[in-house]
Structure 1
Amino acid sequence: MKIELVFETTCPNAEGTRKLLNVIEAELGLQLNIIEINKDDPDAPDYSKKLSSPTILIDGKDAVSDGSQGGDACRIYHAPYGRLTGLPSKEVVIQSILLAGQG
């Protein structure tokens, strides 16, 4: 399983998402191979430059399919009760990792 954290240098939510992935890794008792991609790096893959920050990809697919906006801006995720947040839902990311592990 390939997990990518795509972020921008100035993203205020990149560190929180990085920590979230570390918590998930510990909770699941898995050694996740997390590849960090700074989309501001000139050598970053082209596909990463089209994603908003932060985005988690699992085997090339967005881990959170909640209708969040993409593009060249901060990513805002939908949270329960109509709230918006800059971090993806831990439960949704865990579910995506477990589903990818089954395939």
Structure 2
Amino acid sequence: MRAGQRPGGVIPETEGSGRDERRLRDVSGLPEIQAGAAGKGIHRGGPVRPAAKTCHVCECVNEQLSARARTWACPACGASLTRKVNTARNLREFGLKEIGALSAVS
């Protein structure tokens, strides 16, 4: 086996080479191209919100929630929440609010 190779392919270049940054820059417009070809659009998200730490019932943000907690009770309203389901609901609602479509979808 030659230097710079491993079973199954070539070892990726090391960090800082600039190659990965160029590759990412080259494909940054790809989602818009693909959506346009399908006759759809893309909306880039706004500010980052703590979707996993926000209660989908009352929108209280639980700053003390650890990354290991999979279920938790909202300190404000007492709702029993599962992290994955709560996060998915929040991401959906954040996106719908941002595009102004929340009133159209319940």
Determine which structure has the larger strand proportion and give its number.
1
TM-score, shorter chain, exceeding 0.5: no
Larger radius of gyration: 2
TM-score normalised by structure 2 residue count: 0.25
Structure with more contact order per residue of length (Cα contacts < 8 Å, sep ≥ 6): 1
TM-score normalised by structure 1 residue count: 0.26
